[in-house]
Amino acid sequence: MAGTTKSAVEWLVSVAPDPDVCRWEWERNPHGVTLLPAGKAWDVLILPATLGRPTLDVLTRVLGRPGPVLADFGDDRTGFFVPPGTAGRWLGTGVRTAGPGTWIVVPFPGRAATGPVRWLVQPDGSGTLTDPALLELAMHEAAAGGATGEEV
């Protein structure tokens, strides 16, 4: 396992009730996914793809590399990893949240995705998350670009 992948795995499984069991099961899952609890090291804001991908484009242009981002295989939803507590405070319409008491499907970093979700931006193990204020601004810019038909 490469250094960044190993760091990413360790960071992700640190939220599991039993990290060793989680890691063992995750590495052996034929789809390369596991369920991890949100609300400990991160929350997830889940945007519809029509807004999620353009928002990621804006964030990538502004930041270079945002925090981890997931997409489902149908590209119907895009999930941005944000600081814990964000889900409880988020007021945006049409945005689903995953915070304390919720679990999300997470693919194994660095492996070809064969399960229901894949990484658009893999975690690097440093704990970097997307700033919710920047995410909101990027969402507004992406929505405005989509409304005017301009490329964002």
Degrees (nearest 5) of the Cα angle 55, 67, 41? 125
Can you read off the two tokens belonging to residue 144?
Answer: 């405005």
Q: What is the mean pLDDT of residues 28-56?
A: 93
> Could you tell me if 98 and 49 are in contact, meaning their C-beta atoms sit under 8 angstroms apart?
no
Pure H helices in 14-131: 19-28, 49-63, 86-89
Strands (E), the chain: 33-37, 43-48, 69-72, 77-82, 96-98, 103-107, 117-121
Residues 77-98: pLDDT tens digits? 999 999 999 999 998 778 999 9
When computed from its CA atoms, the radius of gyration of the chain, rounded to whole angstroms, is 15
DSSP 147: H
Count of residues making up the chain: 152
Q: What is the mean pLDDT of residues 48-59?
A: 93
Highest mean pLDDT among 46-50, 114-118, 143-147: 46-50
What's the pLDDT score for residue 2?
Answer: 59
Separation CA 146–CA 53 (nearest Å): 11
Crossing angle of helices 132-148 and 49-63, in 10° steps, is 120
Q: What is the mean pLDDT of residues 40-56?
A: 94
Separation CA 108–CA 110 (nearest Å): 7
> Could you tell me if 43 and 138 are in contact, meaning their C-beta atoms sit under 8 angstroms apart?
no
pLDDT at 147 over 90: no
pLDDT at 150 over 60: no
Q: How many CA atoms lie within 13 A of 4 on its CB side?
A: 8
Put simply, whether the predicted model's pTM sits higher than 0.95 gets the answer no
pLDDT at 122 over 60: yes
| Mean of all residue pLDDT scores within the chain | 89
